Chains A and B, each alone.
Chain A
Amino acid sequence: MAIQPVLIEGPNGPLFAIHHPPAENAPERGDLIYVPPFAEEMNQARRMAAMQARRLVHAGYGVLLLDPAGTGDSGGDFADARWDGWLEDIAAGLDWLEGRGRPLAGLWGLRLGGLLAVAAARANPARVPRLLLWQPVTSGRTFLNQFLRLRVAAGLSGDGERETTATLRAALAAGEPVEIAGYPLAPALAAAIEGADLTVPPPEACAVAWLDMVASPDSPPPPASARTIAAWREAGVSVAHRTVVGEPF
């Protein structure tokens, strides 16, 4: 079976996805839906996601690499993309797999995609048996700040009036979209990201594998991850946590 580009009818427009069927001689493990990271991180991670998908296929997992609305090759503009819309897109991915008779192995989320995947697991209880989280964003607020900072940094060497994350946040609060590194960030999307975090755990029935990348074998895992995982375990969620040594991508 070959890798297949597919168009999924999403509630917010057509969604582009690439389906990697599992290798035929491998044990059948079901399909994972990949939830990509945000904005430029999505492009930077493309190659790694594709390589991982190929490895997963050999292990018997199918992989659906999904472009949420307004991103990648899916329909819609980034400026119109919404958090809840993205959750609906993930549900459309779940429906698509179900319609094809493909059992779901779980959701695989990278960075903000991890945060979205957890939210999707909570929004679709009993449908998501497993979460594979790569370097998940634990705090949407911190993440948004770091994203806004890209524009602040771009202005640091200029002569114009210095922007700050505060002035950018004020613009968003006033209902103005703000362009960051070429991405038009809508106030509603910014607000949703800011309000999202991993304090509420996924459903107990969901098994979690959490991977953090670290620079060297003696680097500790990010404390925010350790804290979140401890809280989730306290709540009865099973979490397998590993650090992976590697270069950032």
Chain B
Amino acid sequence: MATIDDMKAILRDTLQLGDRASNFDASTPLFGSLPELDSMAVVTLITAIEERFDIMVEDDEISAEVFETVGSLTDFVAGKLAA
């Protein structure tokens, strides 16, 4: 199970966002809006997600849509876990 709170925690810890992440919700935009989330940070974030949820993310699953919002990212991870 992956929840919005799980994503907020991973984003906070991986991108070192501190308290800012507590105000996030499903609609909060990520890639393109969050300055900390550059391409290098995307890699770090994917690795953190892989470790935390014990999943493997393939290259062709990494798209702008997945990282659009906190909600889309949560749905993506939840989908991988359900598979």
Contacts and interface: CB of A to CB of B under 8 A. Distances in A.
Q: Do A and B make up one complex?
A: yes
Interface of A: 141-142, 145-146, 149-150, 152-154, 156-157, 164-166, 215-216, 219, 222-224, 227
Nearest to B13: A215
A140 to B, nearest CB: 12
Best-buried of B38, B47, B56, B59 by chain A (most CB within 10 Å): B59
B54 interface: yes
Interface string B39-54: 1101100110011111
A152 B51 contact: no
A154 B40 CA distance: 7
A223 B9 CA distance: 16
Interface residues of B, number: 18
Given A215-B13, A219-B9, A222-B51, A145 B56 contact: yes
27 contacts: A142-B50, A142-B56, A145-B56, A146-B43, A146-B46, A146-B47, A149-B47, A150-B43, A152-B43, A152-B59, A153-B43, A154-B39, A156-B39, A156-B42, A164-B60, A165-B58, A215-B9, A216-B9, A216-B13, A219-B9, A222-B51, A222-B52, A222-B54, A223-B52, A223-B53, A224-B54, A227-B54
B18 to A, nearest CB: 12
A142 B48 CA distance: 12
Judged by DSSP, the binding face of B is helix
The 3 closest A-B pairs by CB, nearest first: A156-B39, A153-B43, A215-B13
Interface in B60-83: 60
A149 B51 CA distance: 15
Contacts of A153: 39-40, 42-43
A61 to B, nearest CB: 29
Nearest to B10: A215
A222 B56 CA distance: 14
A150 B47 CA distance: 10
Best-buried of B42, B46, B51, B56 by chain A (most CB within 10 Å): B51
Contacts of A222: 51-52, 54
Contacts of B53: 223
Contacts of B50: 142, 146
Given A149-B43, A153-B40, A224-B54, A165 B59 contact: yes
